[in-house]
Copies of this chain bind each other. A is one copy, B any other.
């Protein structure tokens, strides 16, 4: 079954994914940080039981994973897929995950909150992703009672999520803006408007692969639709600037040279670390979206980026690997995925 990121989508040249998460908690049960073991079991059983009713309906079939029983490489691979957060990986007792087969819709249980409903879509599809998350939220609310306060809205463990409990975000690929050195300034300006822009890979000071996550920060005093509109409008401005800069860059021979060399290395390397892969994949992705590189789609590239993450690669290959084996295997997958790539003339 294909994953959500394997679909072609509008604006995928810059937006490589749309994410909506809704934080929800069950009335009368302490927040995760204060839950007893029996509270955890109760919530996990309750959510699982409820979702069983939705199984096989519009949501397709759900996979239920009791996180405390899975090996840690599996747990890390779920974090790499964005289905659970990093903290859950280290403390998985009583935690669970329920996910649709294409991973476009999921619910993490006993992470930051009792329930984190997560909806994902390729490209820029805020409304679509929101309505999917909202549908599941409505269904669950009918069966479980969510903690809600007339003044504060949904009650969440993290006070910054009080209100809608919704974090909407876009995974933006900004190689041209990063190259121009203006990402830092843009992030500062966005912060004043209640939005954050953070690098997805690497550190803030040394981002890898030019992938950034643009998210709303404000969950209170603003409806879900207002937050989405706000995010969408800023995203469109950033996307326009990125496109304009890419167009200027791609006409430079030295930039074409860099893009095509990166393609050449990815098509030929026998060993590849994930960090190196990301940097080169970012250049090639830019080349694809600018029409310089043909034979590979943006979607192929995004799929590859998800698939060759360290734990995902190891887990899907079914076992333990040394770092050299992993690099060898990654290089092999990359060569295979990019073998059709060439200058588009």
A265 to chain B, nearest CB (A): 5
Q: Chain B residues near A256: list those with CB within 8 A.
A: 270
A293 to chain B, nearest CB (A): 10
A304 to chain B, nearest CB (A): 17
| Interface: A290 (CB within 8 A) | no
| Interface: A271 (CB within 8 A) | yes
A325 to chain B, nearest CB (A): 10
Contact A270 B265 (CB under 8 A): no
A31-62 interface bits toward B, Cβ cutoff 8 Å, 1 = contact, 0 = none: 00000000000000000000000000000000
A285 to chain B, nearest CB (A): 16
Contact B269 A324 (CB under 8 A): no
| Oligomeric state, in copies | 2
Q: Which of A237-258 contact B (CB under 8 A)?
A: 253-254, 256-257
- What is the interface of chain A mostly: helix, strand, loop, or mixed? helix
A328 to B254: give the CA distance in the assembly, Å.
10
| Interface: A261 (CB within 8 A) | yes
Q: Chain B residues near A269: list those with CB within 8 A.
A: 257, 260-261, 264
* Chain B: CB-nearest residue to A324: B253
| Interface: A172 (CB within 8 A) | no
A269 to B260: give the CA distance in the assembly, Å.
6
A23 to chain B, nearest CB (A): 45
| Interface: A267 (CB within 8 A) | yes
Contact B271 A253 (CB under 8 A): yes
Q: Chain B residues near A267: list those with CB within 8 A.
A: 264
A266 to B267: give the CA distance in the assembly, Å.
12
| Interface: A157 (CB within 8 A) | no
Out of B257, B263, B264, B271, name the residue touching A257 (CB < 8 Å): B271
| Interface: A230 (CB within 8 A) | no
| Interface: A331 (CB within 8 A) | yes
| Interface: A101 (CB within 8 A) | no
Contact A265 B261 (CB under 8 A): yes
| Interface: A268 (CB within 8 A) | yes
Contact B270 A331 (CB under 8 A): no
Q: Chain B residues near A253: list those with CB within 8 A.
A: 270-271, 324, 328
* Chain B: CB-nearest residue to A266: B264
Q: Chain B residues near A328: list those with CB within 8 A.
A: 253
Contact B271 A254 (CB under 8 A): yes
A110 to chain B, nearest CB (A): 43
Q: Chain B residues near A261: list those with CB within 8 A.
A: 264-265, 268-269
A69 to B254: give the CA distance in the assembly, Å.
37
Q: Chain B residues near A257: list those with CB within 8 A.
A: 269-271, 331
18 A/B residue pairs, CB under 8 Å, sorted by A: A253-B270, A253-B271, A253-B324, A254-B270, A254-B271, A256-B270, A257-B271, A260-B268, A260-B269, A260-B270, A261-B265, A261-B269, A263-B264, A263-B268, A264-B264, A264-B265, A264-B268, A264-B269
Q: Which 6 residue pairs across A and B have the least CB separation, nearest first?
A: A264-B268, A264-B264, A257-B270, A260-B268, A257-B271, A256-B270
